[in-house]
Structure 1
Protein backbone atom coordinates (compact mmCIF):
# COMPACT_ATOMS: atom_id res chain seq x y z
CA UNK A 1 0.00 0.00 0.00
CA UNK A 2 2.83 2.38 0.84
CA UNK A 3 4.43 1.71 -2.53
CA UNK A 4 1.14 2.37 -4.31
CA UNK A 5 0.77 5.70 -2.48
CA UNK A 6 4.23 6.80 -3.61
CA UNK A 7 3.77 5.88 -7.30
CA UNK A 8 1.80 9.04 -8.31
CA UNK A 9 4.43 11.23 -6.73
CA UNK A 10 7.12 9.33 -8.58
CA UNK A 11 5.48 9.84 -11.98
CA UNK A 12 4.84 13.50 -11.28
CA UNK A 13 8.46 14.03 -10.31
CA UNK A 14 9.67 12.04 -13.33
CA UNK A 15 7.43 14.01 -15.70
CA UNK A 16 8.47 17.35 -14.28
CA UNK A 17 12.07 16.25 -14.44
CA UNK A 18 11.72 15.30 -18.09
CA UNK A 19 10.06 18.60 -18.96
CA UNK A 20 12.75 20.48 -17.10
CA UNK A 21 15.45 18.56 -18.97
CA UNK A 22 13.82 19.33 -22.31
CA UNK A 23 13.47 23.00 -21.47
CA UNK A 24 17.06 23.13 -20.30
CA UNK A 25 18.24 21.43 -23.48
CA UNK A 26 16.21 23.78 -25.65
CA UNK A 27 17.51 26.79 -23.73
CA UNK A 28 21.12 25.70 -24.05
CA UNK A 29 20.65 24.97 -27.76
CA UNK A 30 19.02 28.36 -28.25
CA UNK A 31 22.01 30.00 -26.61
CA UNK A 32 24.36 28.24 -29.02
CA UNK A 33 22.34 28.87 -32.17
CA UNK A 34 23.20 32.58 -32.63
CA UNK A 35 26.91 31.76 -32.53
CA UNK A 36 26.49 28.85 -34.95
CA UNK A 37 24.32 31.00 -37.21
CA UNK A 38 26.86 33.83 -37.30
CA UNK A 39 29.70 31.39 -37.96
CA UNK A 40 27.82 29.75 -40.83
CA UNK A 41 27.11 33.14 -42.39
CA UNK A 42 30.72 34.23 -41.92
CA UNK A 43 32.02 31.14 -43.71
CA UNK A 44 29.32 31.42 -46.38
CA UNK A 45 27.94 28.01 -45.41
CA UNK A 46 24.47 28.97 -46.59
CA UNK A 47 22.70 25.61 -46.09
CA UNK A 48 23.88 25.51 -42.46
CA UNK A 49 23.00 29.17 -42.06
CA UNK A 50 19.49 28.46 -43.30
CA UNK A 51 19.13 25.45 -41.01
CA UNK A 52 20.33 27.24 -37.87
CA UNK A 53 18.34 30.35 -38.70
CA UNK A 54 15.08 28.43 -39.09
CA UNK A 55 15.72 26.56 -35.83
CA UNK A 56 16.38 29.82 -34.01
CA UNK A 57 13.27 31.41 -35.50
CA UNK A 58 11.19 28.41 -34.36
CA UNK A 59 12.45 28.77 -30.77
CA UNK A 60 11.69 32.48 -30.50
CA UNK A 61 8.57 33.75 -28.82
CA UNK A 62 5.47 34.44 -30.89
CA UNK A 63 5.64 37.87 -32.46
CA UNK A 64 9.42 38.06 -32.59
CA UNK A 65 10.91 38.49 -36.04
CA UNK A 66 13.23 35.98 -37.63
CA UNK A 67 16.94 36.75 -37.17
CA UNK A 68 18.53 39.12 -39.66
CA UNK A 69 21.11 36.47 -40.59
CA UNK A 70 18.33 34.14 -41.76
CA UNK A 71 17.07 36.81 -44.15
CA UNK A 72 20.57 37.29 -45.55
CA UNK A 73 20.98 33.53 -46.07
CA UNK A 74 17.62 33.20 -47.78
CA UNK A 75 18.42 36.11 -50.06
CA UNK A 76 21.78 34.67 -51.10
CA UNK A 77 20.45 31.14 -51.49
CA UNK A 78 17.53 32.34 -53.60
CA UNK A 79 19.92 34.15 -55.93
CA UNK A 80 22.08 31.04 -56.25
CA UNK A 81 19.11 28.73 -56.75
CA UNK A 82 17.33 30.83 -59.37
CA UNK A 83 16.93 28.90 -62.58
CA UNK A 84 13.92 29.45 -64.88
CA UNK A 85 14.01 25.75 -65.75
CA UNK A 86 13.59 24.79 -62.06
CA UNK A 87 12.43 27.86 -60.14
CA UNK A 88 10.62 26.21 -57.25
CA UNK A 89 13.32 26.45 -54.56
CA UNK A 90 14.31 30.02 -55.42
CA UNK A 91 10.70 31.21 -55.40
CA UNK A 92 10.04 29.48 -52.07
CA UNK A 93 13.05 31.12 -50.43
CA UNK A 94 12.21 34.53 -51.87
CA UNK A 95 8.59 34.24 -50.75
CA UNK A 96 9.72 33.29 -47.23
CA UNK A 97 12.07 36.25 -47.26
CA UNK A 98 9.33 38.68 -48.29
CA UNK A 99 6.85 37.25 -45.77
CA UNK A 100 9.36 37.46 -42.91
CA UNK A 101 9.33 41.26 -42.96
CA UNK A 102 12.97 41.36 -41.86
CA UNK A 103 15.25 44.17 -43.00
CA UNK A 104 14.96 47.86 -43.72
CA UNK A 105 12.02 49.19 -45.72
CA UNK A 106 14.32 49.70 -48.69
CA UNK A 107 15.60 46.13 -48.47
CA UNK A 108 12.07 44.75 -48.14
CA UNK A 109 11.01 46.69 -51.24
CA UNK A 110 13.97 45.29 -53.16
CA UNK A 111 13.07 41.76 -52.05
CA UNK A 112 9.48 42.26 -53.21
CA UNK A 113 10.64 43.64 -56.56
CA UNK A 114 12.95 40.67 -57.05
CA UNK A 115 10.13 38.24 -56.35
CA UNK A 116 7.85 40.06 -58.79
CA UNK A 117 10.60 40.12 -61.42
CA UNK A 118 11.09 36.36 -61.20
CA UNK A 119 7.36 35.67 -61.25
CA UNK A 120 6.86 37.92 -64.28
CA UNK A 121 9.77 36.28 -66.09
CA UNK A 122 8.33 32.83 -65.51
CA UNK A 123 4.87 33.95 -66.59
CA UNK A 124 6.22 35.49 -69.81
CA UNK A 125 8.21 32.36 -70.63
CA UNK A 126 5.17 30.19 -69.97
CA UNK A 127 3.08 32.31 -72.33
CA UNK A 128 5.78 32.04 -75.00
CA UNK A 129 5.75 28.27 -74.65
CA UNK A 130 1.96 28.30 -74.87
CA UNK A 131 1.93 30.40 -78.04
CA UNK A 132 4.50 28.03 -79.55
CA UNK A 133 2.12 25.11 -79.00
CA UNK A 134 3.87 23.68 -75.92
CA UNK A 135 0.93 23.56 -73.52
CA UNK A 136 2.36 21.01 -71.07
CA UNK A 137 5.65 22.89 -70.80
CA UNK A 138 3.77 26.12 -70.13
CA UNK A 139 1.68 24.51 -67.39
CA UNK A 140 4.81 23.06 -65.80
CA UNK A 141 6.41 26.51 -65.68
CA UNK A 142 3.30 27.99 -64.07
CA UNK A 143 3.02 25.32 -61.37
CA UNK A 144 5.46 26.96 -58.89
CA UNK A 145 3.73 30.30 -59.38
CA UNK A 146 0.28 28.91 -58.70
CA UNK A 147 1.11 26.58 -55.84
CA UNK A 148 -0.70 28.84 -53.38
CA UNK A 149 -2.34 31.16 -55.88
CA UNK A 150 -6.09 31.60 -56.21
CA UNK A 151 -9.07 29.29 -56.48
CA UNK A 152 -9.27 26.54 -59.10
CA UNK A 153 -10.61 28.04 -62.31
CA UNK A 154 -9.23 31.52 -61.63
CA UNK A 155 -5.56 30.87 -62.42
CA UNK A 156 -3.64 31.60 -65.60
CA UNK A 157 -3.10 27.88 -66.23
CA UNK A 158 -6.88 27.39 -66.26
CA UNK A 159 -7.25 30.15 -68.86
CA UNK A 160 -4.54 28.59 -71.03
CA UNK A 161 -6.19 25.17 -70.91
CA UNK A 162 -9.57 26.68 -71.75
CA UNK A 163 -8.12 28.58 -74.72
CA UNK A 164 -6.26 25.49 -75.94
CA UNK A 165 -9.33 23.26 -75.78
CA UNK A 166 -11.52 25.88 -77.43
CA UNK A 167 -9.14 26.27 -80.37
CA UNK A 168 -8.80 22.51 -80.71
CA UNK A 169 -12.59 22.23 -80.87
CA UNK A 170 -12.75 24.97 -83.50
CA UNK A 171 -10.22 23.12 -85.66
CA UNK A 172 -12.29 19.94 -85.39
CA UNK A 173 -15.38 21.93 -86.41
CA UNK A 174 -13.44 23.42 -89.30
CA UNK A 175 -12.51 19.97 -90.60
CA UNK A 176 -16.13 18.85 -90.42
CA UNK A 177 -17.36 21.90 -92.33
CA UNK A 178 -14.68 21.47 -95.01
CA UNK A 179 -15.53 17.79 -95.43
CA UNK A 180 -19.19 18.74 -95.89
CA UNK A 181 -18.45 21.68 -98.24
CA UNK A 182 -19.95 24.11 -95.73
CA UNK A 183 -17.68 26.95 -96.72
CA UNK A 184 -19.25 29.89 -94.90
CA UNK A 185 -19.40 27.84 -91.70
CA UNK A 186 -15.78 26.84 -92.28
CA UNK A 187 -14.81 30.50 -92.63
CA UNK A 188 -16.57 31.26 -89.36
CA UNK A 189 -14.62 28.50 -87.60
CA UNK A 190 -11.37 29.79 -89.11
CA UNK A 191 -12.01 33.30 -87.86
CA UNK A 192 -12.64 32.04 -84.33
CA UNK A 193 -9.19 30.47 -84.07
CA UNK A 194 -7.20 32.90 -81.90
CA UNK A 195 -4.13 30.82 -81.00
CA UNK A 196 -1.05 31.15 -83.26
CA UNK A 197 -0.19 27.45 -83.16
CA UNK A 198 -3.71 26.30 -84.01
CA UNK A 199 -3.96 28.96 -86.71
CA UNK A 200 -0.86 27.47 -88.33
CA UNK A 201 -2.42 24.00 -88.20
CA UNK A 202 -5.44 25.39 -90.05
CA UNK A 203 -3.47 27.28 -92.71
CA UNK A 204 -3.79 24.63 -95.47
CA UNK A 205 -7.55 24.51 -94.94
CA UNK A 206 -7.75 28.31 -94.93
CA UNK A 207 -6.46 28.38 -98.48
CA UNK A 208 -9.01 25.75 -99.48
CA UNK A 209 -11.87 27.61 -97.79
CA UNK A 210 -10.97 30.98 -99.29
CA UNK A 211 -10.67 29.45 -102.75
CA UNK A 212 -14.06 27.74 -102.36
CA UNK A 213 -15.70 30.99 -101.27
CA UNK A 214 -14.16 32.81 -104.23
CA UNK A 215 -15.63 30.13 -106.48
CA UNK A 216 -19.03 30.61 -104.85
CA UNK A 217 -18.87 34.33 -105.52
CA UNK A 218 -17.90 33.69 -109.13
CA UNK A 219 -20.88 31.42 -109.57
CA UNK A 220 -23.11 34.11 -108.16
CA UNK A 221 -21.77 36.56 -110.73
CA UNK A 222 -21.94 34.16 -113.65
CA UNK A 223 -25.06 32.06 -113.77
CA UNK A 224 -25.30 29.12 -116.08
CA UNK A 225 -27.27 31.19 -118.61
CA UNK A 226 -24.94 34.18 -118.56
CA UNK A 227 -23.66 37.00 -116.42
CA UNK A 228 -25.67 38.25 -113.49
CA UNK A 229 -27.58 41.50 -113.94
CA UNK A 230 -25.50 44.63 -113.55
CA UNK A 231 -27.47 45.70 -110.51
CA UNK A 232 -26.13 42.79 -108.34
CA UNK A 233 -24.42 44.15 -105.18
CA UNK A 234 -20.64 44.48 -105.58
CA UNK A 235 -18.92 41.25 -104.59
CA UNK A 236 -16.03 42.83 -102.66
CA UNK A 237 -18.31 45.03 -100.57
CA UNK A 238 -20.63 42.13 -99.82
CA UNK A 239 -17.73 39.91 -98.82
CA UNK A 240 -16.36 42.54 -96.42
CA UNK A 241 -19.76 43.06 -94.84
CA UNK A 242 -20.40 39.32 -94.41
CA UNK A 243 -16.98 38.63 -92.91
CA UNK A 244 -17.38 41.55 -90.49
CA UNK A 245 -20.60 40.04 -89.15
CA UNK A 246 -19.04 36.58 -88.90
CA UNK A 247 -16.17 38.02 -86.86
CA UNK A 248 -18.77 39.39 -84.45
CA UNK A 249 -20.05 35.85 -83.95
CA UNK A 250 -23.07 35.90 -86.25
CA UNK A 251 -23.91 32.61 -88.05
CA UNK A 252 -22.78 32.65 -91.71
CA UNK A 253 -26.24 32.67 -93.32
CA UNK A 254 -27.48 35.45 -91.05
CA UNK A 255 -24.26 37.35 -91.77
CA UNK A 256 -24.91 37.04 -95.51
CA UNK A 257 -28.44 38.41 -95.16
CA UNK A 258 -27.34 41.22 -92.84
CA UNK A 259 -24.46 42.20 -95.13
CA UNK A 260 -26.77 42.28 -98.13
CA UNK A 261 -29.27 44.40 -96.25
CA UNK A 262 -26.56 46.86 -95.14
CA UNK A 263 -25.58 47.40 -98.77
CA UNK A 264 -29.16 48.16 -99.71
CA UNK A 265 -29.65 44.83 -101.41
CA UNK A 266 -32.33 42.19 -101.30
CA UNK A 267 -32.02 38.41 -101.18
CA UNK A 268 -33.08 36.73 -104.42
CA UNK A 269 -33.37 32.99 -104.97
CA UNK A 270 -32.25 32.21 -108.51
CA UNK A 271 -32.45 28.48 -109.02
CA UNK A 272 -29.78 26.83 -106.87
CA UNK A 273 -28.13 30.18 -106.21
CA UNK A 274 -28.93 32.81 -103.60
CA UNK A 275 -28.09 36.31 -104.78
CA UNK A 276 -27.86 39.71 -103.18
CA UNK A 277 -29.22 42.15 -105.73
CA UNK A 278 -29.28 45.90 -105.51
CA UNK A 279 -32.73 47.40 -105.32
CA UNK A 280 -33.88 49.48 -108.27
Structure 2
Protein backbone atom coordinates (compact mmCIF):
# COMPACT_ATOMS: atom_id res chain seq x y z
CA UNK A 1 0.00 0.00 0.00
CA UNK A 2 1.09 3.58 -0.60
CA UNK A 3 -0.03 6.71 1.19
CA UNK A 4 0.76 8.81 4.26
CA UNK A 5 0.09 5.97 6.71
CA UNK A 6 1.93 3.25 4.79
CA UNK A 7 4.98 1.91 6.64
CA UNK A 8 6.99 -1.32 6.48
CA UNK A 9 5.12 -4.21 8.11
CA UNK A 10 5.99 -4.88 11.74
CA UNK A 11 5.19 -7.84 13.97
CA UNK A 12 1.68 -8.47 15.20
CA UNK A 13 -0.05 -5.58 16.94
CA UNK A 14 -2.62 -6.48 19.57
CA UNK A 15 -5.49 -3.98 19.71
CA UNK A 16 -7.49 -4.37 22.90
CA UNK A 17 -11.05 -3.15 22.61
CA UNK A 18 -10.88 -3.52 18.85
CA UNK A 19 -14.63 -3.08 18.40
CA UNK A 20 -14.77 0.14 20.43
CA UNK A 21 -14.65 3.81 19.48
CA UNK A 22 -10.87 4.22 19.15
CA UNK A 23 -9.89 0.55 18.98
CA UNK A 24 -11.92 -0.11 15.83
CA UNK A 25 -10.50 2.95 14.11
CA UNK A 26 -6.93 2.11 15.14
CA UNK A 27 -7.27 -1.48 13.94
CA UNK A 28 -8.66 -0.24 10.62
CA UNK A 29 -5.72 2.11 10.08
CA UNK A 30 -3.21 -0.61 10.90
CA UNK A 31 -4.75 -3.22 8.60
CA UNK A 32 -5.14 -0.67 5.78
CA UNK A 33 -1.40 -0.01 6.02
CA UNK A 34 -0.60 -3.71 5.77
CA UNK A 35 0.14 -4.48 9.42
CA UNK A 36 -0.77 -7.76 11.06
CA UNK A 37 -3.42 -7.03 13.68
CA UNK A 38 -4.92 -9.19 16.39
CA UNK A 39 -8.29 -7.72 17.29
CA UNK A 40 -9.15 -8.42 20.93
CA UNK A 41 -12.68 -8.18 22.27
CA UNK A 42 -14.85 -10.05 24.76
CA UNK A 43 -16.77 -11.87 22.03
CA UNK A 44 -13.91 -12.14 19.51
CA UNK A 45 -16.03 -10.12 17.09
CA UNK A 46 -14.76 -9.97 13.50
CA UNK A 47 -12.79 -6.89 12.46
CA UNK A 48 -12.05 -6.55 8.72
CA UNK A 49 -8.50 -7.61 7.91
CA UNK A 50 -7.64 -8.58 11.50
CA UNK A 51 -7.37 -11.85 13.40
CA UNK A 52 -10.12 -11.94 16.05
CA UNK A 53 -9.31 -13.20 19.54
CA UNK A 54 -11.41 -13.36 22.68
CA UNK A 55 -10.05 -11.12 25.43
CA UNK A 56 -11.60 -10.30 28.79
CA UNK A 57 -9.73 -8.16 31.31
CA UNK A 58 -11.30 -10.15 34.14
CA UNK A 59 -10.45 -13.57 32.69
CA UNK A 60 -6.65 -14.02 32.80
CA UNK A 61 -7.11 -17.31 30.98
CA UNK A 62 -8.04 -15.35 27.85
CA UNK A 63 -4.79 -13.35 27.86
CA UNK A 64 -2.10 -15.77 26.57
CA UNK A 65 -3.73 -16.38 23.18
CA UNK A 66 -3.85 -12.66 22.55
CA UNK A 67 -0.13 -12.24 23.26
CA UNK A 68 1.33 -15.05 21.15
CA UNK A 69 3.71 -13.47 18.61
CA UNK A 70 2.73 -9.89 19.51
CA UNK A 71 5.35 -7.14 19.74
CA UNK A 72 3.09 -4.06 20.19
CA UNK A 73 -0.14 -3.48 22.05
CA UNK A 74 -2.80 -0.77 22.13
CA UNK A 75 -4.21 -0.82 25.64
CA UNK A 76 -7.75 0.32 26.39
CA UNK A 77 -8.39 -0.27 30.11
CA UNK A 78 -11.71 -1.74 31.28
CA UNK A 79 -14.41 0.90 31.11
CA UNK A 80 -16.08 1.90 34.35
CA UNK A 81 -13.55 0.20 36.65
CA UNK A 82 -12.37 2.62 39.37
CA UNK A 83 -9.19 0.53 39.86
CA UNK A 84 -8.11 -0.71 36.41
CA UNK A 85 -4.49 -1.09 37.53
CA UNK A 86 -5.47 -4.24 39.44
CA UNK A 87 -6.10 -6.11 36.17
CA UNK A 88 -4.14 -4.06 33.61
CA UNK A 89 -0.72 -4.07 35.29
CA UNK A 90 -0.45 -7.87 35.70
CA UNK A 91 -1.39 -8.20 32.03
CA UNK A 92 1.21 -5.64 30.93
CA UNK A 93 3.95 -7.38 32.90
CA UNK A 94 2.90 -10.67 31.33
CA UNK A 95 2.97 -9.00 27.91
CA UNK A 96 6.50 -7.71 28.46
CA UNK A 97 7.67 -11.17 29.52
CA UNK A 98 6.04 -12.60 26.37
CA UNK A 99 8.07 -10.29 24.11
CA UNK A 100 5.88 -7.22 23.69
CA UNK A 101 8.25 -4.27 23.43
CA UNK A 102 5.94 -1.27 22.86
CA UNK A 103 2.72 -0.30 24.59
CA UNK A 104 0.38 2.59 23.82
CA UNK A 105 -2.10 3.30 26.60
CA UNK A 106 -5.39 5.15 26.19
CA UNK A 107 -6.01 7.38 29.20
CA UNK A 108 -7.79 10.75 29.46
CA UNK A 109 -6.80 14.40 29.57
CA UNK A 110 -8.48 14.75 32.96
CA UNK A 111 -6.33 12.05 34.59
CA UNK A 112 -2.63 12.87 35.13
CA UNK A 113 0.18 10.39 35.58
CA UNK A 114 -0.18 8.92 39.06
CA UNK A 115 -3.77 10.14 39.34
CA UNK A 116 -6.82 8.00 40.06
CA UNK A 117 -7.90 4.99 38.01
CA UNK A 118 -5.89 4.71 34.78
CA UNK A 119 -3.45 7.30 36.13
CA UNK A 120 -1.89 4.48 38.16
CA UNK A 121 -1.33 2.45 34.99
CA UNK A 122 0.22 5.52 33.35
CA UNK A 123 2.68 5.90 36.22
CA UNK A 124 3.79 2.26 36.03
CA UNK A 125 4.15 2.03 32.24
CA UNK A 126 7.73 3.39 31.90
CA UNK A 127 8.94 0.80 34.41
CA UNK A 128 7.56 -2.05 32.30
CA UNK A 129 8.35 -1.04 28.70
CA UNK A 130 11.30 0.71 27.09
CA UNK A 131 9.00 1.96 24.32
CA UNK A 132 5.70 3.44 25.42
CA UNK A 133 3.25 6.28 24.95
CA UNK A 134 0.19 7.47 26.82
CA UNK A 135 -2.61 9.11 24.84
CA UNK A 136 -4.70 11.44 26.98
CA UNK A 137 -7.52 12.64 24.73
CA UNK A 138 -10.02 15.23 25.80
CA UNK A 139 -13.71 14.35 25.64
CA UNK A 140 -14.69 12.54 22.43
CA UNK A 141 -16.70 14.38 19.81
CA UNK A 142 -18.40 11.03 19.20
CA UNK A 143 -20.09 11.40 22.61
CA UNK A 144 -22.69 13.39 20.68
CA UNK A 145 -23.14 10.96 17.77
CA UNK A 146 -22.84 7.40 19.11
CA UNK A 147 -24.24 5.50 22.10
CA UNK A 148 -23.11 7.90 24.83
CA UNK A 149 -25.88 9.34 27.07
CA UNK A 150 -25.31 12.76 25.47
CA UNK A 151 -26.09 11.30 22.04
CA UNK A 152 -29.14 9.51 23.40
CA UNK A 153 -30.38 12.72 25.02
CA UNK A 154 -29.95 14.59 21.74
CA UNK A 155 -31.92 11.98 19.80
CA UNK A 156 -34.74 11.46 22.29
CA UNK A 157 -35.17 14.87 23.94
CA UNK A 158 -33.04 17.39 22.09
CA UNK A 159 -31.13 17.94 25.37
CA UNK A 160 -27.55 17.69 26.62
CA UNK A 161 -27.39 17.52 30.42
CA UNK A 162 -24.13 18.37 32.22
CA UNK A 163 -22.77 19.91 35.40
CA UNK A 164 -20.09 21.71 33.36
CA UNK A 165 -21.81 25.10 33.37
CA UNK A 166 -20.13 27.44 30.88
CA UNK A 167 -16.82 25.57 31.05
CA UNK A 168 -15.18 24.73 27.74
CA UNK A 169 -13.58 21.50 26.46
CA UNK A 170 -11.19 20.82 23.59
CA UNK A 171 -13.37 18.01 22.23
CA UNK A 172 -11.40 15.65 19.94
CA UNK A 173 -12.48 13.45 17.04
CA UNK A 174 -11.91 9.72 17.63
CA UNK A 175 -10.49 9.55 14.09
CA UNK A 176 -7.69 11.86 15.25
CA UNK A 177 -7.08 9.75 18.34
CA UNK A 178 -6.76 6.67 16.13
CA UNK A 179 -4.41 8.50 13.77
CA UNK A 180 -2.14 9.39 16.70
CA UNK A 181 -2.38 5.82 18.04
CA UNK A 182 -1.32 4.51 14.63
CA UNK A 183 1.82 6.64 14.65
CA UNK A 184 2.59 5.88 18.30
CA UNK A 185 2.41 2.17 17.52
CA UNK A 186 4.28 2.14 14.22
CA UNK A 187 6.77 5.02 14.01
CA UNK A 188 10.43 4.04 14.20
CA UNK A 189 10.69 5.83 17.53
CA UNK A 190 7.84 5.65 20.00
CA UNK A 191 6.93 9.08 21.41
CA UNK A 192 7.87 7.94 24.97
CA UNK A 193 5.71 10.72 26.26
CA UNK A 194 2.43 11.94 27.66
CA UNK A 195 0.28 13.18 24.76
CA UNK A 196 -2.75 15.34 25.57
CA UNK A 197 -4.99 15.26 22.48
CA UNK A 198 -7.57 17.92 21.70
CA UNK A 199 -9.51 19.32 18.80
CA UNK A 200 -8.70 22.72 17.26
CA UNK A 201 -10.79 24.84 19.64
CA UNK A 202 -12.35 24.69 23.11
CA UNK A 203 -16.15 24.59 23.07
CA UNK A 204 -18.79 24.90 25.79
CA UNK A 205 -21.83 22.63 25.80
CA UNK A 206 -23.94 25.58 24.69
CA UNK A 207 -21.61 25.85 21.65
CA UNK A 208 -22.02 22.12 20.98
CA UNK A 209 -25.81 22.44 21.04
CA UNK A 210 -25.66 25.43 18.69
CA UNK A 211 -23.49 23.65 16.13
CA UNK A 212 -25.71 20.56 16.10
CA UNK A 213 -28.80 22.73 15.68
CA UNK A 214 -27.25 24.74 12.84
CA UNK A 215 -25.93 21.75 10.92
CA UNK A 216 -28.85 19.36 11.34
CA UNK A 217 -31.78 21.75 11.76
CA UNK A 218 -32.81 19.74 14.82
CA UNK A 219 -33.22 21.97 17.91
CA UNK A 220 -30.79 20.95 20.65
CA UNK A 221 -30.21 22.72 23.98
CA UNK A 222 -27.81 22.38 26.90
CA UNK A 223 -29.53 21.90 30.26
CA UNK A 224 -27.15 22.64 33.19
CA UNK A 225 -27.39 20.44 36.29
CA UNK A 226 -25.83 20.78 39.72
CA UNK A 227 -23.02 18.43 40.68
CA UNK A 228 -25.40 16.52 42.96
CA UNK A 229 -28.09 16.22 40.28
CA UNK A 230 -25.63 14.80 37.78
CA UNK A 231 -24.01 12.45 40.30
CA UNK A 232 -27.38 11.01 41.34
CA UNK A 233 -28.56 10.71 37.74
CA UNK A 234 -25.42 8.77 36.79
CA UNK A 235 -25.55 6.62 39.93
CA UNK A 236 -28.80 5.14 38.65
CA UNK A 237 -26.86 3.75 35.68
CA UNK A 238 -23.45 2.74 37.15
CA UNK A 239 -21.53 2.18 40.41
CA UNK A 240 -21.76 5.18 42.76
CA UNK A 241 -17.98 5.62 42.94
CA UNK A 242 -17.68 5.89 39.16
CA UNK A 243 -20.72 8.18 38.94
CA UNK A 244 -19.13 10.52 41.47
CA UNK A 245 -15.85 10.51 39.53
CA UNK A 246 -17.65 11.46 36.29
CA UNK A 247 -19.60 14.22 38.04
CA UNK A 248 -16.32 15.49 39.48
CA UNK A 249 -14.96 15.72 35.95
CA UNK A 250 -17.86 17.94 34.92
CA UNK A 251 -17.24 20.10 37.97
CA UNK A 252 -13.59 20.40 36.91
CA UNK A 253 -14.70 21.49 33.42
CA UNK A 254 -16.85 24.19 35.01
CA UNK A 255 -13.72 25.42 36.76
CA UNK A 256 -11.73 25.62 33.50
CA UNK A 257 -9.65 22.44 33.79
CA UNK A 258 -10.25 21.39 30.15
CA UNK A 259 -10.21 24.83 28.53
CA UNK A 260 -7.14 24.21 26.36
CA UNK A 261 -5.93 23.03 23.00
CA UNK A 262 -2.70 21.22 22.10
CA UNK A 263 -0.81 20.61 18.85
CA UNK A 264 -0.28 16.88 19.51
CA UNK A 265 -2.49 15.71 16.62
CA UNK A 266 -0.67 18.02 14.20
CA UNK A 267 2.78 16.99 15.45
CA UNK A 268 2.14 13.25 15.32
CA UNK A 269 0.05 13.02 12.15
CA UNK A 270 1.24 16.02 10.11
CA UNK A 271 -2.29 17.40 9.71
CA UNK A 272 -4.56 19.59 11.86
CA UNK A 273 -7.15 18.13 14.19
CA UNK A 274 -10.68 17.99 12.82
CA UNK A 275 -13.36 20.41 13.96
CA UNK A 276 -16.61 19.56 15.72
CA UNK A 277 -18.64 21.10 12.91
CA UNK A 278 -16.92 18.81 10.41
CA UNK A 279 -17.70 15.83 12.65
CA UNK A 280 -21.40 16.76 12.85
CA UNK A 281 -21.59 17.26 9.08
CA UNK A 282 -20.00 13.84 8.57
CA UNK A 283 -21.83 11.78 11.21
CA UNK A 284 -25.10 13.56 12.05
CA UNK A 285 -26.33 15.56 9.09
CA UNK A 286 -26.66 12.49 6.81
CA UNK A 287 -29.03 10.96 9.41
CA UNK A 288 -31.47 13.87 9.51
Higher CA-based Rg? 1
Say whether the fold is shared (TM-score over 0.5): no
Task: Return the structure number with greater strand share.
Answer: 2
**Scaled by the length of structure 1, what TM-score is found?**
0.22
Work out which structure has the larger RCO, using CA pairs closer than 8 Å and 6 or more positions apart in sequence.
2
